[in-house]
Chain A
């Protein structure tokens, strides 16, 4: 592996780890707050999958960095400006509709992105994708079912679901942005060319929203910046909470 590719791969694994840890953290905030006990269990399950992915991506990033850091250094010792997650993942949990619509957007994204990552020439990334694909299949079944039920349920649930779709839509464009690092890796057959996934994502999402009697928004606004560390105000608070114990006891093992 050339130095340039190695560095880019480390950056890429960190980004994917950041996406996973941030979304996993947000989902975990639902535990004991779900509408009924089965949902607490389901949320716990999905959060656990994402935390597991984060660990695998960070461990790989740490291996490539080869500077003595481990997965927890990546998760706990970087500040919000150093985090590289997509903004969609860091938005607060909101109400049940908001979380489920966000989940649907993410799940369809991973449904398209992970099979491409499975083809990666990088064996580690490919192996992580293989595991994650199975999880995402279950995640999508759940978020799709929920969006259908909320969209086509009561007036209130419909309104809440539509509001969530409208509020989240502007954060979905960033999912398909490519920069130099990702382009380099896509050209090398290591990373995924996400720009090419947007049409299929839109097609799948439109079909589900339409079945749920929800309206697909116009592309009238877009917010970007997660991949360069330009975040919403929410991430700083999230990381403050997540990192407090770890940072209060520097260098300790847990």
Chain B
């Protein structure tokens, strides 16, 4: 038996109308969105760490400025996404608790270490590139605040992707040493970037309902294919070797065929056992705990001001 509320909700979804914070929505829709948006916000925030790892070693002042600016944008994305998620009735501090306890996830890509300067370029190009493929699709997501956030975020991400690619190009066209660094970064980040789209559709726990509610607009495998296709040419222009030796144009499908991914690795990293899972969460907890006395100071200061103002008023 569907209630009139449910009917009205599904009517809006079918008519491509956005669901807004004050609208009625099924609990499961709300939960699903909170999971997805907070995970997205946490990814932006945790993503500051692997890139921040190179802030103090950026090889030119121009690159240092670009990297600073990019990380600042990511933090800004984290902020809008936390705000978008708060419209669903969860606070930022609750979300942070879930991140720190492991109850909420963030993109597994950030559990891979950034080992050389070229990794910064590879992240901008491949990781932001994969994120954009997903986010362009999410601009049409059914929840209004999330959709609007995506539109804004996509503009900045495209800029990051171009800058990342340009950084890779400088390396690929540079000295032997620089070129080797670029190839190594491509070899390490290509596969995890493909894994960013999530498991095969057949294995994806949340996919079906998310598609029905138009939270997700395209399936994991379709989005991954888009990314595989667009990356082939980009690797060619760099003059680097494609990490997938089985990559081959398939005329009948109109797409590239490629190797299957190492799903054991995928699940192992998702389940907390990648190179950096523990480090990333510990870093977040340590910074958060160290900041406690600062946050307490603000509260105390504001209370003193309020008391003083109240005294003046009286």
Q: Is the interface of B mostly helix, strand, loop or mixed?
A: helix
- Is B293 a contact of A160 with CB atoms below 8 Å? yes
Q: Is the interface of A mostly helix, strand, loop or mixed?
A: helix
- Is residue A96 contacting chain B, with contact meaning CB distance below 8 A? yes
- Is B283 a contact of A32 with CB atoms below 8 Å? yes
Nearest B-chain residue to A150, judged by Cβ: B297
- Is A58 a contact of B61 with CB atoms below 8 Å? yes
Chain A residues with CB below 8 A from B76, complex form: 41
- Is B170 a contact of A254 with CB atoms below 8 Å? yes
- Is B56 a contact of A25 with CB atoms below 8 Å? yes
- Is B298 a contact of A149 with CB atoms below 8 Å? yes
Chain B residues with CB below 8 A from A54, complex form: 61
Query: Complex: how many Å from CA A245 to CA B116?
Result: 9
Query: Complex: how many Å from CA A38 to CA B45?
Result: 11
Chain A residues with CB below 8 A from B52, complex form: 31-32
Interface size class on chain B is 35 or more
Q: Which of A43-51, A106-114, A124-132 contacts B (4 or more CB under 8 A)?
A: A43-51
- Is residue B75 contacting chain A, with contact meaning CB distance below 8 A? yes
A28 with B300, Cβ < 8 A, contacts A72-B61, A253-B170 known: no
Chain A nearest CB from B48 CB (Å) reads: 4
Q: Which of A79-87, A151-159, A172-180, A191-199 contacts B (4 or more CB under 8 A)?
A: A151-159
Interface centre among A38, A54, A154 (most CB of B within 10 A): A154
Q: List A residues 87-117 near B (Cβ within 8 Å).
A: 95-96
The 0/1 profile, CB within 8 Å of B marked 1, for residues 211-254 of chain A is 00000000000000000000000000000011011101101111
Query: Complex: how many Å from CA A75 to CA B63?
Result: 13
A241 with B301, Cβ < 8 A, contacts A31-B48, A32-B283, A36-B295 known: no
Interface centre among A95, A149, A150 (most CB of B within 10 A): A149
The 5 closest A-B pairs by CB, nearest first: A35-B291, A153-B297, A157-B297, A44-B72, A35-B294
